């Protein structure tokens, strides 16, 4: 505990020191524009006229993650190197894509912290500390991440993990206004997504649908840009038995079981992807999964359960729904549709169509008419087995072999991580291709409550299913002790094939077909980063093994590879100042990999996961790596008198309550088998778990979920596992 706590304090001190040392009076500084954050809707709509700027998370109003810059190209990319870096003081996942306007970079870190920096030198101009809420950290199903800021009219907008929508002065970082967007803090709501701007409002959604049987009820809220006053709120799923709901929710209620439990809130959170078309004045929402995942629990009589796992268009002035399209009716597998959406004008069958494109988790690539929501085309971009295909109305045809996992575990393609998750894809109008960071993997899914022989049961506030992505070493015996009967799977019998891999896939959205593939990670669970493309015919992607990779946009040939020592999940971006083109990316691992461990061959296993912004330019140097990771031997066993029954009980409690984040091995969070002088003390261990002693590091308090005696059983189990690891390490060769 001493090492962890000191590390957190040291990181906080570093950022505070940088802020004090490098901030100062900036007015009139010739390095920057006449006003900080001077972004208007017109500038965003005409982004092509200012190729050196990066106005939004996706650069432009269409969210293409495409840049017109060409200085870095196939002939010059070999000279790409390190320009500068700025530490964020974080040791968890970084998922934001920076925005650069008039020489200033704005970006976010964990908890919703915001940084403003000189985009040429990396000099820190100011930092906004969002504060860290231990309970919010626990409620975040997939790390204390934040996916970005929005900039408009001299203000920087960010959503904080604990649910606040904040407007900051782009010049000073001071808070102009701050409002609480959460309707009920007793429900596990969080904010991890980036806000979306319309003509006069900032819109934010929330997360929380994954957290247990009752989870949250999704909604988005629109706030006035200048004052923070709420303009409207749109709920994505109906409230049972409420006759005063808007017409779209009255209609949605017919797709849910009217006799469902009063406690089922439904889920459908908008935790990431949104888009806005200023020409049509439509706001597009990507709606997430249900809560709980199993339809036979949340809606026993079935139904499509609108508007979970859907794309929904609303009027941004009133919050009224205009159209919807559901990608996964009755979602049973966590197939969210919150992935980034791209607006484009495509020539299809000789006609220019205004479309919206999305590659959601369920494995299908969709092209819809963005004015009406009518599907134009769809095809699976990864292997799928949850459906037998789409019918003439583009509705999935159920596959019974993958639908009902209540009494029998199923192997489902794609996995709960999705064929594609939140990592941004990019559309190049030059090549006409979409570049998707995809995951080809299966998912073993088990109902913890109903599967015969399951010993760990179900704990509300956590996933209601057991889910694992089998790797090449999959062995059912590893899970049978806790999950009950787990079958062998023929699909995984050939160990010479990789059952899971990450791929950068170039996709033709007009003809709905794959053009080329580039395998980025193989054989272990990893989430590689988002994608950017440029007019020079390049595609950029940061990988989980610490490599920044630059490829030919037409062929997929790798043209440049830079090892940074830092795992990357976010999408890169590029900008130009003073005739120099820069490429920037947030580097820091986490998110859904919070509970995963690193293979020995990867950079994250060798370097500490210290978050930073890394910037590159032509003629730059070698990227400095983070400090080396030193994994000490297992300490000598701590004596204990716990019975075998207590240790066994601790094993079950650990699997139910702790294993979502804590795994045994080198990863993002501590390997709890490595007890030091502090955590080996059962009294101090209780305080950490029950009182949130390490909430600052992301370890919230769990006194509402486990009893002191149960914490003691978990502690006994961990000490016993530490003993086994020590004995294995010291076993005579």
Q: H or E element: which one contains 653?
A: helix 644-657
The one catalytic residue in 60, 113, 304, 334 is 334
pLDDT for 588 equals 95
Would the pTM of this model clear 0.75, i.e. be above it? yes
pLDDT for 444 equals 83
Burial letters 441-467, b for 16+ CB under 10 A, else e? bbbbbbbbebbeebebebbebbbbbbb
Question: Mind listing the pLDDT tens digit for each residue in 273-306?
Answer: 999 999 999 999 999 999 888 888 889 999 999 9
Residue 71 has pLDDT above 50, yes or no: yes
Structural domains of the chain sorted by starting position, each given as residue range(s) with its CATH number in brackets: 1-134+506-627 (no CATH), 631-729 (1.10.760.10)
Question: Mind listing the pLDDT tens digit for each residue in 394-443?
Answer: 999 989 877 778 777 888 899 989 999 999 999 999 999 999 999 998 88
Question: Mind listing the pLDDT tens digit for each residue in 196-222?
Answer: 999 999 999 999 888 665 679 999 999
Pinpoint the alpha helices (H) of 23-170.
41-45, 134-139
Angstrom CA distances, 91 to 107, 264, 408, 587, 591, stand at 16, 35, 39, 10, 11
Residue 132 has pLDDT above 50, yes or no: yes
Residue 367 has pLDDT above 90, yes or no: yes
Residue 19 has pLDDT above 60, yes or no: no
Work out the pLDDT band at 330, boundaries 50, 70, 90. very high
Q: Is 704 a catalytic residue?
A: no
Residue 653 has pLDDT above 80, yes or no: yes
Question: Mind listing the pLDDT tens digit for each residue in 27-57?
Answer: 335 467 678 999 999 999 999 999 999 999 9
Q: Mean pLDDT for the chain?
A: 88
Question: Mind listing the pLDDT tens digit for each residue in 219-272?
Answer: 999 999 999 999 999 999 999 999 999 999 999 999 999 999 888 899 999 999
Report the percent of the chain where pLDDT is more than 70.
Answer: 91
Q: What is the largest CA-CA distance in the chain?
A: 77
pLDDT for 147 equals 97
Strand residues in 160-306 grouped as ranges (E): 164-169, 175-180, 196-197, 201-204, 219-224, 230-235, 266-267, 274-277, 282-286, 290-291
């Amino acid at each position: 505990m001493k090492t962890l706590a000191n590390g957190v304090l040291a990181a906080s001190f570093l950022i505070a020191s940088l802020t004090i040392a490098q901030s100062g009076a900036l007015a009139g500084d010739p390095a920057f524009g006449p006003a900080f954050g001077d972004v208007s809707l017109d500038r965003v709509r005409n982004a092509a006229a200012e190729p050196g700027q990066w106005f939004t998370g996706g650069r432009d109003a269409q969210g293409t993650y495409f840049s017109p810059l060409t200085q870095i190209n196939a002939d010059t990319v070999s000279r790409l190197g390190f320009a500068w870096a700025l530490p964020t003081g974080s040791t968890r996942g970084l998922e934001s894509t920076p925005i650069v306007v008039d020489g200033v970079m704005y970006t976010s870190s964990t908890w919703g912290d915001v940084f403003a920096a000189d985009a040429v030198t990396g000099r820190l101009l100011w930092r906004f500390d969002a504060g860290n809420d231990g309970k919010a950290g626990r409620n975040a199903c997939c790390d204390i991440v934040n996916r970005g800021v929005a900039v408009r009219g001299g203000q920087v907008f960010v959503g904080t993990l604990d649910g606040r929508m904040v407007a900051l002065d782009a010049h000073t970082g001071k808070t102009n206004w701050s409002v609480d967007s959460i309707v009920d803090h007793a429900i596990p709501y969080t904010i991890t997504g980036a806000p979306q701007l319309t003509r006069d409002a900032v819109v934010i959604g929330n997360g929380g649908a994954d957290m247990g049987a009752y989870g949250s009820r999704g909604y988005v809220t629109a706030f006035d840009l200048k004052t923070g006053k709420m303009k409207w709120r749109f709920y994505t799923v109906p409230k049972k038995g409420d006759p005063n709901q808007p017409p779209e929710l009255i209609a949605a209620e017919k797709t849910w079981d009217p006799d469902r439990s009063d406690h089922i809130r439904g889920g459908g959170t908008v935790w990431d992807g949104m888009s806005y078309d200023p020409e049509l004045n439509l706001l597009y929402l990507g709606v997430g999964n249900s809560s709980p995942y199993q339809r036979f629990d949340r809606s026993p009589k079935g139904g499509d359960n609108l508007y979970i796992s859907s794309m929904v268009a609303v009027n941004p002035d009133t919050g009224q729904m205009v159209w919807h399209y559901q990608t996964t009716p009755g979602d049973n597998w966590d197939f969210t549709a919150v992935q980034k959406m791209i607006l484009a004008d495509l020539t299809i069958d000789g006609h220019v169509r205004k479309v919206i494109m999305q590659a959601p988790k369920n494995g299908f690539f969709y092209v819809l008419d963005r004015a009406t929501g009518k599907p134009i085309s769809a095809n699976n971009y990864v292997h799928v087995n949850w459906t037998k295909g789409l019918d003439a109305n583009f509705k999935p045809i159920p596959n019974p072999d993958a639908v009902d996992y209540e009494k029998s575990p199923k192997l489902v393609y794609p996995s709960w991580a999705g064929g594609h998750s939140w990592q941004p894809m990019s559309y190049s109008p030059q090549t006409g291709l979409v570049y998707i960071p995809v995951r080809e993997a299966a998912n073993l899914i088990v109902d913890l409550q109903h599967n015969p022989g399951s010993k760990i049961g179900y704990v509300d506030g956590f996933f209601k299913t057991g889910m694992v992505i089998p790797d090449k070493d999959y062995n059912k015996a590893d899970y049978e002790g806790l999950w009950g009967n787990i079958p062998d799977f023929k699909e995984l019998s050939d160990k010479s094939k990789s059952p899971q891999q990450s791929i950068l896939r170039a996709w033709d959205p007009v003809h709905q077909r794959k053009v080329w593939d580039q395998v980025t990670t193989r054989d272990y669970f990893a989430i590689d980063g988002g994608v950017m493309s440029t007019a020079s015919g390049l595609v950029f992607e940061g990988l989980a093994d610490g490599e920044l990779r630059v490829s030919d946009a037409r062929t997929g040939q790798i043209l440049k590879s830079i090892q940074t020592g830092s795992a990357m999940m976010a999408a890169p971006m590029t900008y130009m100042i003073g005739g120099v083109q820069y490429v920037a990316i947030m580097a820091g691992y986490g998110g859904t990999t919070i509970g995963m461990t690193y293979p020995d061959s990867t950079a994250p296993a060798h370097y500490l996961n210290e978050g930073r912004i890394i910037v590159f330019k032509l003629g730059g140097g070698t990227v400095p790596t983070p400090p080396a990771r030193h994994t000490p031997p297992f300490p000598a066993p701590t004596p204990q008198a716990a019975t075998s029954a207590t240790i066994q009980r601790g094993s079950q409690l650990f699997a139910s309550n702790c294993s979502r984040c804590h795994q045994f091995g080198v990863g993002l969070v501590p390997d709890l088998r490595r007890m030091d002088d502090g955590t080996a003390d059962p009294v101090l261990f209780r305080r950490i778990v029950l009182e949130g002693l390490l909430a600052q590091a992301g370890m919230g308090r769990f006194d509402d979920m486990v009893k002191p005696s149960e914490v003691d059983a978990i502690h006994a189990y961990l000490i016993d596992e530490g003993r086994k690891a020590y004995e294995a390490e010291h076993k005579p060769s």
